[in-house]
Amino acid sequence: MGLSDLQDSILELKEEKKAILLVHNYQIPEIQEIADYLGDSLQLCRQAQRVKDVRLIVFCGVDFMAETAAILNPDKKVIIPSLEACCPMAAMLQLSRLREAKERHPGAPVVLYVNTLAETKAEATVICTSSNADKIVAGLGEDKVVFGPDRNLAYYVERRVPDVELAVVPEDGYCTVHRFLGNGDEAMELKRLHPGAEVWAHPECEPEFQDRADYVLSTGGMAKRAVESEAEVFIVGTEQGLIDRLRNEHPHKTFLPVKKYAECAAMKRIDLENLYEALRKEQHVVTVPEDTADGARRAIERMLQMS
């Protein structure tokens, strides 16, 4: 199936503007189809750092991701197609709450999930993603770590790095989509109906679901497992956009959502129409104050080095 006229127009504008299109796995299929790079947070962080010979970075993801691209590319213009693409989890960890946690745990390094806003990242020792959080925490070699904002990702890390005490801030930060997937009952019922199927849970899923899943994987890990596994049916515990990608890349395999309508409203704020307008008008420009960007850049680059 060919591209739509609007997709073709976007690609033409992209060439004219010397732009690059970075697209997260949770974007709609029509945007995934025209991405220069499609991936999870860690993959897109790495790609943002490697961007060369372009003038404009268009980030199809949520606010903290576009900020990360701007932080890593201070010499380039970064735009996000919708100002309403704001991650609820990132907003849960306010700077004041992080500073309070640092005061309560003096000397403890701070590991923050990439799903945080720039001003908070700037006070972190190092950033992590769902694909490397356990490795980052273990790599610090400390007995205690301040960790935030996702409580379920903290659970995932605690199971794999039991010798490190995590002081989680806030106490109950979460992703609305992955919490919506519940404790795994529906996934287990699907597995009963499809013997031999693999059940995947994202590290942002509830602990009960993580414990019952066959694999706990980041979206990048899920994409890799889809290639490596000999299974034919997969029950996927994450946002619908990743399932759209997997169905497109592996039409001979079956990918079932744990629940219908598990969609991130913030990610879906971006569509072909506002992507086209963003390119045409070079809006909305993402800016991060220099002092904030310097601190956040150090934490992000340390993650990339440790990864």
Question: Is the domain of 105 the same as that of 163?
Answer: yes
**Residue 46 domain-assigned (yes or no):** yes
Distance CA 22, CA 32 (A): 9
- Assess whether 102 and 156 both reside in one domain: yes
User: Is residue 68 domain-shared with residue 29, that is, in the same domain?
Assistant: yes
262 found inside a domain: no
Given a contact cutoff of 8 angstroms between Cβ atoms, the answer to whether 208 and 222 are in contact is no
**Is 203 contained in some domain?**
yes
Q: Is residue 107 part of a domain?
A: yes
Q: Which residue has the tokens 């701070």?
A: 110
Assess contact for 142 and 167: CB atoms under 8 A. Answer: no
Tokens representing 250 are 């592996």
One domain, residues 73 and 94: no
Angle at 127 between CA 292 and CA 293, to 5 degrees: 15
CATH number of the domain that residue 162 is part of: 3.40.50.10800
Q: Is the pLDDT of residue 265 over 70?
A: yes
One domain, residues 282 and 298: no
Inside any domain, residue 296: yes
Flag whether 116 is in a domain.
Answer: yes
**Predicted pLDDT of residue 51:** 84
What pTM did the predictor assign?
0.94
Q: Are residues 99 and 58 in the same domain?
A: no
CB of 190 within 8 A of CB of 197? Answer: yes
Q: Are residues 51 and 189 in the same domain?
A: no
Which tens digit of pLDDT belongs to each residue from 69-126? 999 999 999 999 999 999 999 999 999 999 999 999 999 999 999 999 999 999 999 9
Query: pLDDT tens, 150-179?
Result: 999 999 999 999 999 999 999 999 999 999
Does residue 97 form part of some domain? Answer: yes
State the average pLDDT over residues 4-17: 96
156 and 192 fall within a common domain: no
Range of the domain at 111: 89-173+291-306
Task: Kindly state whether residues 246 and 272 are assigned to the same domain.
Answer: no
Residue 48 sits in the same domain as residue 101: no
Total of domains in the chain: 3
Angstrom distance (rounded) from CA 16 to CA 277: 14
196-205 confidence digits (pLDDT tens): 999 999 999 9
My answer on whether 193 and 51 are in the same domain is no
32 in Cβ contact with 79 (< 8 Å): no
* % residues pLDDT > 70 (the chain): 100
282 plus 218 within the same structural domain: no
Helix and strand numbers (H, E) in the chain are 16, 12
